[in-house]
Structure 1
Amino acid sequence: MQLTSPTGTPRTRRRLKAALLASAVSVCLVAASAPPTPLGVGDRLFPHLGNPGYDVASYDLAFTYSGDNGKPLQAVTTIDAWTTTALNRVNLDFDRGEVASVEVNGMPAEYADAGQDLVITPDAPLPEGSWMRITVRHTSDPVPAKGGRSGGWVRTGDGLAMANQADAAHLAFPCNDHPSDKAMFTIRVTAPQGHTAVANGLRSAVVRAGKSTTWTYRTQHPMATELAQISIGRSTVLHRTGPRGLPVRDVVPTRHRAQLEPWLKKTPDQIAWMEEKVGPYPFETYGVLVADAATGFELETQTLSLFEKELFTNPAFPEWYVDSIMVHELAHQWFGDSVTPRTWSDLWLNEGHATWYEALYAAEKGDRPLAARMKAAYGASDRWRAAGGAPAAPRAPQDGDRFGIFRPNVYDGGALVLYALRQEIGHTAFERLERAWVSRHQDSTATTDDFVQLASDIARRDLTGFFRGWLYGEKTPPMPGHPDWKQGTAAKLPEPESRARP
């Protein structure tokens, strides 16, 4: 994710282990007569997010769009999952929609709301290790209640898009809304004539019936719920070819197609540049989704990154800057999408890496020296830590502020950790580490401890002490190789003032 202000200025498949679930699983065995209770997997930053007791294998999402982006969509969500403990009830994260019916394994099930959970009571308890299919017929409302949370659906000038990071997928569909539980997705969208629907993965079917069309897309790799993307609008889909024959598709408002093309045609070369750094692109397709909306951010939704149109049309943004932001979201396809954080405290692994490759691309292609940016970040690092916590121990967001964890301490602060690591172990070992990281954890989840261990293995020495200060310290350690760098010597990063991060 790349944050901006409201005015447009910036700002394997490993499962949750026992330590994360221990406090939550015990409440799954609640008697059926007890009141419905919201649950969570115990994430430090979002304690009520996700649900214990099962492991989702796949989602099948079906939405019917009326053509009015102010009206709820009719929807059916089908979830296939394995139970990991015996369950009398199953909790799903879901809010901002009306539920019409719920079935478990083809049989009607009772359900009730509890906080932002949909609590389902099957007609019979579900044994540990059993397969279950949950089908929920519901609405999906793109308009939050007055004073309600934003997120989920984003209304655009000609339809809808999705923005679910960090904890908002359940505002659009019932799910286990935590990145530790990745799953395969099938997405079906029915829309009126004149609209085009695009979603994560590859298109598998287009069926026209009367005055509407149904598009079906399927992922070929598991995906976290926060990375789901659906675009519905009066759009044009542009096709081109990336490295090694990779299908590249961009989705743009039809009326802006010509204006956006000079930017979009850069994507294949940007993918090739990233592959030189870290290895093969990890998914079945990639593309840019340009939304005619004031989102306040860009977002790395899997295989189809979301961008504000203004990023490409505002003449105040230099070419090098726009290019580097495109690379930021592209880099997330490796760091965050393919290798997903097991908890939200591991966010620096996503944003620090995406910012690192953003800065490296600006240095190599835009003549924006990397050392100058890192020195500026170093000068501000103590201030960022005081405001937002250390990079691997970010402070929790305030209630209702889902963007509260997306602070400079995990963006340039995270990239600064990587720069210090490269200084410490050398360029060659660092590049081996980056390639090994995305290869070893592809399609899975990983933690900060996993990164520290792999870095130590590749460096052939214990780096725990080095990382302890850089990732968890209240103060920023001395920069290896730059004893002259001091705190408080740089007030802001070398970016356009009109789009600087907060």
Structure 2
Amino acid sequence: MLLTPRVTLRTRSRTRPRLSRHRKAALLASAASLCLLAASAQAQPLGIGDRLFPYLGNPGYDVVLYDLSFTYPGSNEKPLQAVTTISARTTADLDRINLDFAHGTVQSVEVDGHPADFTSAGEDLVVTPEHPLAEGSWTRITVKHTSDPVAAKDQDGGWVRTTDGLAMANQADAAHLVFPCNDHPSDKAMFTFHVTAPNGYTVVANGLPTGEEQTGDTTTWTYRTRHPMATELAQVSIGRSTVLHREGPHGLAVRDVVPSADTKAVEPWLARTPDQIAWMESKVGPYPFETYGVLMAQASTGFELETQTLSLFEKNLFTETIYPKWYIESIMVHELSHQWFGDSVSPRTWSDVWLNEGHATWYEALYAEETAHRPMADRMKAAYAASDSWRAAGGPPGLPKAAAPGQKISLFRPNVYDGAALVLYALRQEIGQSAFERLEREWVQEHRDSTATTADFIRLASTVSGRDLSGFLKGWLYDEKTPPMPGHPDWKAADPTKSAKPALRHRAR
């Protein structure tokens, strides 16, 4: 849609001929049309050049804080009224500010308290402040808008409409379907959420609660993060829910959000979380955030998602009997491990997604091996057999092919899951278990609350092992064919012209 920019007409101080009322009106209308055309003609969608999502993110500024306000009308068939305030520092001189935003109506924009012109270009909201912004300055952008769950229902993410409310699933590039933002994981920021809903609903968001205020027939809930977060990891749950509290390792606050009618049925699963956190800490070190929990959504999404401090799961995963118990627990660990790999340490570009999913799949498989006697070697041997086919279909793990048109989540193919876990298995085979475990701990410690690249991982692996691993890892990450597996010369890759059998773990992201 075209967002109409504010038109500001300036007059000169010198004496001018007097104009009739009709002539003035005609000139004003003409000037407004010219301003609108000029703004639309000059505005264009920008991006930071991500290979897989070229128009995602925007150059010229670094977001420090998002302050998001949503008012839920009591129906997931109607838009939410919203206010997004972005505090950012400019990294270049800016005449305009591009924000990623789609599927909402913008009502007004202010920059540093002053009205600003705005228009749309592609999936960008293009804002022209009253005065240009100098490099190195701080700025505050306030956008009043709607956030429409109905418009986003046919997309691969954004608002997820549940049977009793809403939740978010913003990976990989869908946060801007919910709120204006710099929608790329390379620009992490702190978040504050204010969500107003009718009394009787429960609201939970990333981070910790800092306030709950009832006014008449509505309640406003406030949450704040204590660590920076990528936009794709934002989570707001609005529903007829119950919040269950328990204590994790070292007094960690664990809170789970479940449909009120299902609390008894799902409690045995949720009770496993503290021990799962302790297990992960034994592998890679302290849990990196202020809280954790499971959000069970009454929706059919086809995936689970590692939203920061509050992982999103389909409720039916726990209440139906499709999958064995050991597998469900391993999926819980998959999303939990993302809190270290993907959330605390986020990918610098989406081509680095194997660092997220490969590690989550690794710890999922390792947990199954140690707690359910499902040998890691068996799973990796099967992955090795399919690896050439996965590389042919989706690219090598470190250079995944772009998502299919209209199917953005098709980026999440087996090559970045079991195919990437196979890279880690090969690395452990090559440098030994002790060095590998030291590498994992140092990786999450060195890049905590930040972003990292594949090149960073290769450098650290070389440092920890005491030898140059660039050639070894680049072969495993970028070659069209799967290299020989160290220690397993008998492992063979299947013919890639034949279809590969899909892995069991297709649900988790």
Q: 1:459 aligns with which of 460, 465, 468?
A: 465
Q: 1:487 aligns with which of 490, 493, 497?
A: 493
- How far did 1:367 drift? 1.0
- How far did 1:500 drift? 7.5
Distance in 1 between the 2:354 and 2:84 partners? 32
Preserved CA contact (<8 Å) 2:99 2:126? yes
RMSD: 1.6
Preserved CA contact (<8 Å) 1:376 1:491? no
Matched, 1:435 2:472: no
Letter in 1 for 2:62: D
Distance 1:494 1:299, change over 3 A: closer
Q: Show the 5 A alignment for 1:31-46.
A: 35-46=42-53
- How far did 1:488 drift? 1.5
Q: 2:326 aligns with which of 306, 320, 340?
A: 320
Distance in 1 between the 2:83 and 2:210 partners? 19
SS in 2 for 1:178: coil
Letter in 1 for 2:57: G
What is the number of residues matched between the two proteins? 469
Q: 1:205 aligns with which of 203, 211, 217?
A: 211
SS in 2 for 1:282: coil
Matched, 1:64 2:46: no
Distance 1:170 1:501, change over 3 A: closer
SS in 1 for 2:57: coil
Preserved CA contact (<8 Å) 2:389 2:500? no
Letter in 1 for 2:225: T
Distance in 2 between the 1:298 and 1:318 partners? 16
Distance in 1 between the 2:139 and 2:406 partners? 32
Distance in 2 between the 1:33 and 1:212 partners? 40
SS in 2 for 1:176: coil
Structure with the bigger RCO (C-alpha within 8 Å, sep 6+) is: 1
Identity rate of aligned residues, in percent? Answer: 72
Which deviates the most, 32-41 or 197-206?
32-41
SS in 1 for 2:292: coil
Distance 1:265 1:112, change over 3 A: same
Letter in 1 for 2:381: K
Q: Show the 5 A alignment for 1:9-24.
A: none
Q: 1:399 aligns with which of 405, 414, 427?
A: 405
- How far did 1:495 drift? 3.9
Distance in 2 between the 1:230 and 1:399 partners? 28
Point out the structure with max Rg over C-alpha.
2
Q: 1:79 aligns with which of 55, 66, 86?
A: 86
Preserved CA contact (<8 Å) 2:193 2:222? yes
- How far did 1:144 drift? 2.1
Structure 1: any 5+ residue segments left out of the alignment? 1-30
- How far did 1:313 drift? 1.2
- How far did 1:491 drift? 5.3
Q: 1:182 aligns with which of 178, 188, 191?
A: 188
TM-score where L is the length of structure 2: 0.90
Distance in 2 between the 1:441 and 1:501 partners? 24
SS in 1 for 2:408: coil
TM-score where L is the length of structure 1: 0.91
Distance 1:293 1:494, change over 3 A: closer
Distance in 1 between the 2:64 and 2:508 partners? 37
- How far did 1:400 drift? 2.5
Alignment partner, residue 346 of structure 1: 352
Preserved CA contact (<8 Å) 1:376 1:494? no
1:336-376 CA-to-partner distances (Å, cap 9, x unmatched) read: 00000000000000000000000000000011110000000
Alignment partner, residue 311 of structure 1: 317
Distance 1:429 1:372, change over 3 A: same
Q: Show the 5 A alignment for 1:40-439.
A: 40-144=47-151, 149-439=155-445
Distance in 2 between the 1:315 and 1:397 partners? 31
Distance in 2 between the 1:59 and 1:500 partners? 30
- How far did 1:149 drift? 2.6
Letter in 2 for 1:139: T
Preserved CA contact (<8 Å) 1:373 1:494? no
SS in 1 for 2:416: coil
Distance in 1 between the 2:502 and 2:434 partners? 27
SS in 2 for 1:404: helix
